Structure 1
Amino acid sequence: MAPTFNDENSLFNFVVKDGNGVKGMVDSGLIEVPGRYIQPPNQRINKQQAATAVPENMSIDISELDGPNHDQVVKAIAHAAETLGFFQVVNHGVPLELLDSLKVAAHQFFSQPPEKKAVYLKGVSPSPMVKYGTSFVPEIEKALEWKDYVSMVYTNDADALEFWPNECKEVALEYIKTSTKMVKRLLQALIGNLGLKLDDSRLETLLGLKMVNMNFYPTCPNPELTVGVGRHSDMGTLTVLLQDGIGGLYVKKGENSSPGNEEWIEIPPIDGALVINVGDMLQIVSNGRYKSAEHRVRTTSSASRVSVPIFNTPHPMAKIGPLPELVAQDGVARYREIVFQEYMNNFFGKAHEGKKSLDFASI
């Protein structure tokens, strides 16, 4: 007999505590979205009203950083980081076959029986570095997000191979390894554009912790009522995101648009490309010159979607603040120095609410 989802406690236990996730709910024969997943009208994503014309230079061939067009490529990267906080990269050095394997592995992990995934639930997972869950912080969210995920924190190769799920550990590890050089080059280009140069230890401080997620967005019977991920910016320095071909990622254009007058741009999947977005730490370090990208994800009734982000963040105990050289140039520090672990605690202690996470560090 299919479980009933009219009672909120029964739904929460089935989806969250027992580890069935949104996929388990959909697989039970769900024909309409339960009330707990219905978003307030102002949080819903109207596909028809979203802009589809992506600004110029948002797809960047970063292999040209090694050639005569180096300066133009740096300018394109910096312009994207200053405006939308987002761009896509091609010829990035991550093998295209690996990108395909990542999408296959994500589907393999989430297609397992619920009890196989539930071994990685918070509190029972064999390692604090691996967590399977659903939504963002379901215990405090008024409306839940239509998403299941598995999150894997990288410490070293041996721990990854021992504790990460067998269905995805090898490809996820290779994804981190093959993207690291690209991420460092992008950060060097962005900092260099500000007239500064970071030595290896300062780069390592900003990129020292890596976490790879596999996100699964099951088909939704009423996509117009739900969100896959609510509006937020990423807490780290730079995020690398693999989209599949289904689409559904939206980025907000402009920081200061008033509610009701916001423009959201749907980011079309480009085969073989990776999405890069600026996180809160890079906005802080650049004293506000680079903008973390506020973004969200819609659901769809046509097919289940996967995405695979790598969150490149500072070490937890790293102290992060605006670079002193930029404060001297600007004459003002727009953010206070914070310990990244404290920022993380604040970030994961609240439901998604746009870029309000940055208030924690604002002066």
Structure 2
Amino acid sequence: MAASSFNDESSLFNFVVKQGNGVKGLVDSGQTTVPGQYIQPPHHRINKEHVAGSLENMTFDLSELDGPNHEQVAKAITHAAETLGFFQVVNHGVPLELLESLKVVAHKFFTQPAEKKAVYLKGVSPSPMVKYGTSFVPEKEKALEWKDYLSMTYTNDSDAFNFWPSECKEEALEYIKTSTEMVKKLLQILIGNLGVKPNDSRLDELVGLKMVNMNFYPTCPDPNVTVGVGRHSDMGTLTVLLQDGIGGLYVKKGDQNASLEDEEWIGIPPIDGALVINIGDTLQILSNGRYKSAEHRVRTTSSQSRVSVPIFNAPLPVVKIGPLPEVVARDGVARYREVTFEEYMNNFFAKSHDGKKSLDFVSL
């Protein structure tokens, strides 16, 4: 299909969303300008003037948690969780060769012909645990995000082997397995710092739902008017993210209520061998607001296609999330009401990305 034949909104929507060609199909069709549906209103664009330099050193060596610097590193991690809600980790236990392989297989999946990917579209996918799509919730968005993705929800090994795409299933499964220990270690530190001693079964509940996404951001004719992902915070407990070397991830700094003119965003630079960790809404709720789920977004690029591979570690759907009783007793007030994670998740996916508005659902 030639680019010029997208003569109306519905033909473009059908081609990109319903037929599964994605943004990649749009670019491959020879599209040299940004279609109107992808042009973001000015306040959603990533204005370079609002991008601050890097904050302070937010990269931590996790191997030091096993040595004399344990307290110092644990303190730095909790400080990052209370302020920016984002940090990076090295010596995290996930093999570096695996990280390289994940980037390779992500490209491998997305460079396939559209019909190979379209078998995983919502409604036709062989499993509800595997979904290929584009943007976030295209049916509800005023302006679409310049991104295609593959989402794989982990239930057990045999489902993963049977249903996840063969191009990337082994690597995605290994990524979950090798990062679990690190996630629990970080949670132990963060929850322990709230004066609560979590036992193993509670930790398992809080990260019992795991989703691996492969995100693909094709080159964009005009990165200034589009976004790869709009401003949002993640709904889960902790997100582990692998970036490639291209960059484009920005986190909101400081005052969450700053006006659009005054807000500042910080680029999270890609560091070879590092993983990005970010605090999700669930941890903000559990900590009664002490930890900050990070509002973040992704800029597109005109030079080369970018991939990123997050694991969303979240509570099992039936688990109740609310401020920890010990924290409420100390604070004297609960800032959020208790809901099941499934209720929170359903609300999160019912709307387009809009900063941290998802927390309004439980705010008291």
Deviations 1:265-298 (CA, angstroms, capped at 9, x unpaired): 0010000000000000000000100000000000
Verify: 1:170 aligned to 2:170, yes or no.
yes
Match in the other structure for 1:9: 10
For 1:174, what is the secondary structure of its paired residue?
A: helix
Bigger drift between 43-52 and 285-294 goes to 43-52
State how far apart, in whole Å, the 1-side matches of 2:246 and 2:47 are. 16
CA contact (8 A) 2:50 2:263 kept: no
Match in the other structure for 2:28: 27
Match in the other structure for 2:246: 246
| % identity of equivalent residues | 80
CA contact (8 A) 2:219 2:305 kept: yes
Match in the other structure for 2:145: 145
For 2:138, what is the secondary structure of its paired residue?
A: coil
Bigger drift between 247-256 and 145-154 goes to 247-256
CA contact (8 A) 1:191 1:198 kept: yes
Match in the other structure for 2:341: 340
Q: How does 1:203-242 map to 2 (within 5 A)?
A: 203-242=203-242
Match in the other structure for 2:66: 66
State how far apart, in whole Å, the 2-side matches of 1:26 and 1:270 are. 28
CA contact (8 A) 2:140 2:352 kept: yes
State how far apart, in whole Å, the 2-side matches of 1:234 and 1:340 are. 13
Deviations 1:79-122 (CA, angstroms, capped at 9, x unpaired): 00000000000000000000000000000000000000000000
Shift in Å, 1:62 = 0.8
Q: Which amino acid aligns with 1:72?
A: Q
Shift in Å, 1:55 = 2.0
Q: Which amino acid aligns with 1:61?
A: D
Q: Which amino acid aligns with 1:242?
A: L
State how far apart, in whole Å, the 2-side matches of 1:74 and 1:21 are. 42
CA contact (8 A) 1:233 1:279 kept: yes
For 1:183, what is the secondary structure of its paired residue?
A: helix
For 1:133, what is the secondary structure of its paired residue?
A: strand
Q: Which amino acid aligns with 2:356?
A: K
TM-score normalised according to structure 1 size: 0.99
Q: Which amino acid aligns with 1:139?
A: E
Shift in Å, 1:53 = 2.0
Q: Which amino acid aligns with 1:45?
A: I
CA contact (8 A) 2:38 2:144 kept: yes
For 1:166, what is the secondary structure of its paired residue?
A: coil
4+ runs of 1 displaced by more than 6 Å? none
Q: Which amino acid aligns with 2:125?
A: S
State how far apart, in whole Å, the 1-side matches of 2:28 and 2:53 are. 32
State how far apart, in whole Å, the 2-side matches of 1:41 and 1:201 are. 46
Q: Which amino acid aligns with 1:302?
A: S
Shift in Å, 1:126 = 0.2
Q: Which amino acid aligns with 2:40?
A: Q
Deviations 1:13-46 (CA, angstroms, capped at 9, x unpaired): 0000000000000000010000000000010012
Shift in Å, 1:48 = 4.5
Deviations 1:136-192 (CA, angstroms, capped at 9, x unpaired): 000010000000000000000110011000000000000000000000000001111
CA contact (8 A) 1:135 1:146 kept: yes
Deviations 1:279-327 (CA, angstroms, capped at 9, x unpaired): 0000000010000000000001000000000000000111111000000
Q: How does 1:70-109 map to 2 (within 5 A)?
A: 70-109=70-109
For 2:185, what is the secondary structure of its paired residue?
A: helix
Q: How does 1:228-307 map to 2 (within 5 A)?
A: 228-254=228-254, 255-307=256-308
Structure 1: stretches of 5+ with no match in the other structure: none
State how far apart, in whole Å, the 1-side matches of 2:168 and 2:251 are. 28
Match in the other structure for 1:194: 194
Deviations 1:201-221 (CA, angstroms, capped at 9, x unpaired): 111111110000000000000
Q: Which amino acid aligns with 1:155?
A: T
Match in the other structure for 2:132: 132
Q: Which amino acid aligns with 1:309?
A: P
State how far apart, in whole Å, the 2-side matches of 1:139 and 1:79 are. 39
CA contact (8 A) 1:52 1:267 kept: no
Shift in Å, 1:52 = 2.5
CA contact (8 A) 1:15 1:25 kept: yes
State how far apart, in whole Å, the 2-side matches of 1:218 and 1:66 are. 40
Structure 2: stretches of 5+ with no match in the other structure: none
Match in the other structure for 1:185: 185
State how far apart, in whole Å, the 1-side matches of 2:329 and 2:164 are. 44
For 1:224, what is the secondary structure of its paired residue?
A: coil
State how far apart, in whole Å, the 1-side matches of 2:175 and 2:231 are. 26
Shift in Å, 1:194 = 1.6
Aligned residues: 362
